């Protein structure tokens, strides 16, 4: 059987169904996963995609044929998988999901015990090798399948981060992007009025790619905020593990600012704690966490890298600009509901509008927003980064934590290749809007001039 090697990514397995990933491929991957991990009991879930049922069945067969017991937790948000594996102390877990990719994609996110991710550095390459070698095994005794509904206990875990009785009434515009997020929120019986968008699960994603990180996918949420005049707005991606927020005026709150805000919140309650962020944008996080008595740490982007570093540092909180937020008390894993609950809690106790809580970030830490440049070939990334480093060799500070960051007293830029797509990602921050525009234009012109030689 021909296997498309491109589906094995840095953090998970992902491809177009059925051309790149299908039931036969998933069966073989599940078999290799069982050989790699040697588990007894594995949690198996899926997101809302239309191909999910077929691929879930293939994964189940691959596991039970190998003698592994399967715990079926149904259609879930990805962060529910992490809860189920870690909370009930199972040996591992897989969810059939392609996260925020378009509807024609599907894939597999895999973890071991305690919801530790299996990534390109910690097992995916071993699993890939076994799959390509045609590994297959039939145990003398098949594993058993048990259905377990974990939703209520998952929601209780999320609610443990706040005192629900202290939440005041708010009106919230909420966009689920046809994923499961609002199905979960509605079961929490919060004292809020929800103005819902795309709340019914629909794996065909009829309005396009379920990714609020893309500006075009925010327009519907912004329009409803302008119409309904709520206290604030929120959105989640297709598998509901990333969280996005808008103030009462429809202004999008970047994940960078929310990381700084929540980092300060956690550290102010536990001084001396560590907070981890990615290198794309850092100044607000460095300032807020340090001023609250915490220790900010810059780490390579990507959920597997973040979770590993969080465990090593015993970090209380971590956030990525992409909308992933991680919590020590949630098994060092990311969760899309907890940030929403924390914002409700903080707004209730502070008595301020969301815009008032975040105005200072827009004023003091202007940013370009992530600019994604399409590449024909990811091999040109190194060449561009080398030229970028030479051009800014007079920088006060240079970092290679992830891609390349150059820092001057009044501006900073990070340029990095995507781990999942043929993209060059550019982020710029500066001390004022005028300098921000000037330096963003400068960086993009340089990359474009160099890129014409290669792309």
Which sequence positions are flagged as catalytic? 99
The Cα-based distances of 5 to 10, 30, 432 in angstroms read 12, 16, 45
Using CB atoms within 10 Å of the CB of residue 140, give its burial: 0 to 12 exposed, 13 to 18 middle, 19+ buried: exposed
127 sits in which H/E element? helix 125-132
* DSSP codes of every residue in 212-227: TTSGGGGHHHHHHHHH
The alpha-helical segments, DSSP class H, found in 234-298 are 255-269, 283-291
DSSP state of 329: G
* CA-closest candidate to residue 111, choices 300, 332, 273: 332
* DSSP codes of every residue in 163-215: -GGGPPPEEEEEE-TTSSHHHHHHTT--SEEEEEES-S--BT-TTS---TTSG
- From first CA to last CA, the distance across the chain in angstroms is 34
Q: Are strands 397-399 and 371-374 parallel, antiparallel or unpaired?
A: unpaired
Q: Which residues contact 307 (CB under 8 A, 6 or more apart)?
A: 116, 117, 326, 332, 333, 334
* DSSP codes of every residue in 345-388: HHHHHH---HHHHHHHHHHHS-B---EEEE-S-GGGHHHHHHHH
Q: Which residues contact 323 (CB under 8 A, 6 or more apart)?
A: 212, 213, 237, 242, 243, 244, 255
Structure tokens at 178: 């046809």
Sign of CA dihedral 96, 99, 101, 102: positive
Peptide bond into 410 cis (omega under 30): no
The Cα-based distances of 62 to 31, 55, 319 in angstroms read 5, 10, 35
């Amino acid at each position: 059987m021909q296997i498309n090697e491109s589906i094995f990514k840095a953090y998970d397995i992902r491809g177009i169904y059925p051309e790149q990933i299908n039931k036969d491929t998933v069966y073989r991957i599940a078999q290799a996963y069982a050989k790699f991990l040697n588990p007894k009991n594995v949690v198996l879930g899926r997101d809302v995609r239309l191909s999910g049922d077929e691929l879930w069945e293939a994964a189940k067969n691959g596991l039970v044929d190998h003698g592994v017991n399967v715990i079926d937790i149904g259609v879930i948000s990805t962060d529910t998988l992490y809860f189920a594996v870690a909370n009930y102390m199972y040996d591992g877990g897989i969810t059939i999901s392609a996260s925020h990719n378009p509807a024609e994609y599907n894939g597999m996110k895999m973890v071991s015990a305690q919801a530790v991710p299996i990534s390109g550095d910690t097992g995916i390459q071993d699993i890939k090798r076994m799959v390509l070698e045609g590994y297959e095994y039939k145990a003398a005794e098949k594993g058993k399948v048990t259905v377990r509904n974990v939703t209520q206990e998952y929601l209780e875990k999320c609610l443990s981060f706040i005192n629900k009785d202290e939440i005041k009434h708010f009106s919230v515009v909420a966009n689920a992007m046809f994923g499961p997020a609002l199905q979960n929120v509605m079961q929490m019986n919060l004292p809020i009025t929800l103005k819902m968008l795309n709340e019914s699960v629909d794996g065909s994603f009829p309005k396009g790619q379920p990714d609020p990180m893309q500006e075009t996918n925010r327009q519907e949420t912004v329009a409803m905020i302008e119409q309904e005049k709520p206290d604030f707005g929120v959105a989640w991606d297709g598998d509901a593990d990333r969280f996005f927020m808008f103030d009462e005026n429809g202004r999008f709150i970047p994940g960078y600012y929310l990381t700084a805000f929540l980092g300060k919140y956690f550290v102010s309650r536990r001084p001396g704690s560590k907070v981890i962020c990615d290198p794309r944008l850092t100044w607000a996080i460095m300032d807020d966490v340090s001023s609250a008595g915490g220790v900010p740490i810059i780490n390579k982007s990507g959920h597997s890298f973040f979770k590993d570093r969080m465990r090593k540092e015993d970090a209380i909180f971590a956030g990525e600009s992409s909308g992933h937020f991680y919590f020590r008390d949630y098994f060092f894993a990311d969760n899309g509901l907890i940030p929403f609950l924390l914002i409700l809690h903080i707004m209730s106790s502070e008595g301020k509008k969301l815009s008032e809580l975040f105005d200072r970030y827009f004023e003091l830490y202007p940013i370009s927003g992530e600019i994604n440049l399409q590449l024909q070939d990811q091999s040109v990334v190194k060449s561009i980064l080398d030229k970028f480093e030479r051009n800014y060799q007079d920088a006060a500070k240079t970092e290679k934590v992830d891609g390349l960051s150059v820092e001057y007293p009044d501006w900073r830029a990070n340029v990095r290749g995507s781990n999942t797509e043929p993209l060059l990602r550019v982020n710029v921050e500066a001390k004022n809007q005028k300098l921000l525009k000037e330096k963003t234009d400068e960086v993009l012109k340089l990359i474009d001039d160099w890129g014409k030689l290669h792309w």
